[in-house]
Amino acid sequence: MSHVMNTYARLPVAFERGDGVWLWDTQGKRYLDALAGIAVCGLGHAHPRFTRVVQEQVGRLIHTSNIYEIVAQEKLGDRLAAISGMDNAFFCNSGCEANEAAIKLARLYGHKKGVEAPAIVVMDKAFHGRTIATLTATGSRKVQAGFEPLLPGFVRVPFDDLDAVRRVAANNRSVVAVLVELIQGEGGVNVCGADYLAGLRAICDENKWLLMLDEVQSGTGRTGRWFAYEHSGVRPDVVTLAKGLANGVPIGTCMAAGEASTLFKQGNHGSTFGGNPLACAAALENLAIIEDDGLMQNAIEIGDHMRALFRERFAGVAGVRDIRGAGLMIGIELAVPCADLVSRALEAGLLINVTVDTVIRLLPPMIYTREHAETAVNTLVPLVLDLLSKPAAGEPAPKAA
Ligand code: PLP
């Protein structure tokens, strides 16, 4: 009998070791990783240069405390400021904590402006984490159910709908910030339109709101730039990162620019582990490798290649509704629920994910070659076609157009 709380529907497989894009289970079977621990292991597994630095840091110093100066944390703050255009970073250990920090910043900002009950605009289908504040910000009843009362101070609008945000601006004087993922990961790899971010920036500027971006999944180079917002040349006020920032060593950060970057005062916020020497050394090396090895350019090339291959192979297949994403965030939306594909792919030696029931989500390591990409596509396509050829309960099978 397991003594671990039953919070995950786990697949019946345990991995013993990894090497690059490959993982081996306890029975010795090899799998191609097209998920990277859900957008975490951008460098793949057991990356030699990364491993050397982490091992060396473990042998020297793992943790001290934020009551002392931490040299690696200062260095990581400098590095993140340089690549993000933000001024200051707060370090924590996960995406939900990074978003908690952003929510706290927005509330401080609101109170400073004299708003008694500050509110944040959040989106349908958003995912921001599972703490009480971040699950309130999340746009999924499934994530929230059972944890009521949710927190006050959030106003929900449809994603990628600037008019809806404008209506909130016209009617709600308590709003002080917008929190949004530019590509909704858990929500189905939903990509916003090209003008959305600039539109949000303009609304935020007009109303003196903070523009806060959750780049926990899309950040650290996965879309081909350090941050997804760089594709539109718009600078936010607050950005959160976690997942891929230290290639699997737990870390999160909430970064802010301008007024928002100095709102936290001593004693306002903290974390025991946040930004410790091990996590910061790992993040610094991860960022250096991504840059030195051209992995962001690779994410663009391989991601585009995979989407093109899927488009070619699924051309005319009526059950495939959409193929979308940016860089190595790839979503394939089907007309039918497809959660079964995860175990079928596992049997075939490929690690994938399905989100919101009908969207196949691929988040491969950023070290993928064209050959890895083609192996993943060649493994997945027949499984999808097979699934689509079988009628769902009580329905005729979808026909090829
Ligand atoms: N924000 C986004 C966009 C995410 O995708 C996730 C996790 O999937 C989170 C926040 C929460 O991160 P964590 O699980 O590290 O708390």
Q: Which atom of ligand 1 is nearest to the CA of 252?
A: 15
Q: Which atom of ligand 1 is nearest to the CA of 250?
A: 15
What type of residue is 370?
R
256, 237 contact by CB (below 8 A): yes
Q: What is the secondary structure of 281-320 as a DSSP string?
A: HHHHHHHHHHHHTTHHHHHHHHHHHHHHHHHHHTTTBTTE
Q: Which atom of ligand 1 is nearest to the CA of 94?
A: 15
Percent of residues, the chain, with pLDDT higher than 70? 98
Which pLDDT tens digit goes with each residue over 304-349?
Answer: 999 999 999 999 999 999 999 999 999 999 999 999 999 999 999 9
Ligand 1: does its nearest atom lie under 6 Å from the Cβ of 96? yes
150, 184 contact by CB (below 8 A): no
| Assigned token pair, 33 | 């990783």
Ligand 1 pocket test, pick from 91, 96, 254 with the greatest ligand atom count within 8 Å of Cβ, gives 96
Among protein residues, the one whose CA lies closest to atom 5 of ligand 1? 217
Q: In what order do the strands lie in the sheet with 30-33?
A: 15-19, 22-25, 30-33, 350-351
pLDDT at 302 over 90: yes
**H-helix segments, 62-195:** 71-84, 95-112, 132-137, 141-144, 162-171
Ligand 1: does its nearest atom lie under 6 Å from the Cβ of 215? no
CA gap 367, 341 in Å, rounded:
24
Ligand 1 pocket test, pick from 41, 217, 271, 361 with the greatest ligand atom count within 8 Å of Cβ, gives 217
Ligand 1: does its nearest atom lie under 6 Å from the Cβ of 94? yes
Backbone angles phi, psi at 252, to 5 degrees: -145, 160
Please name every residue paired with 30 in a beta bridge, in sequence order, or none if there are none: 24
Alpha carbon of 378 to ligand 1 centroid (Å): 29
Q: What is the pLDDT of residue 398?
A: 54
Which pLDDT tens digit goes with each residue over 7-58?
Answer: 999 999 999 999 999 999 999 999 999 999 999 999 999 999 999 999 999 9
Which pLDDT tens digit goes with each residue over 244-294?
Answer: 999 999 999 999 999 999 999 999 999 999 999 999 999 999 999 999 999
Ligand 1 pocket test, pick from 179, 243, 253 with the greatest ligand atom count within 8 Å of Cβ, gives 243
Per DSSP, 350 falls in state E
Q: Which residue has the tokens 């989500």?
A: 361
187, 127 contact by CB (below 8 A): yes
CA gap 283, 272 in Å, rounded:
18
Q: What is the secondary structure of 29-57 as a DSSP string?
A: -EEEESSHHHHT-TT-BS-HHHHHHHHHH
Ligand 1: does its nearest atom lie under 6 Å from the Cβ of 33? no
Which pLDDT tens digit goes with each residue over 98-107?
Answer: 999 999 999 9
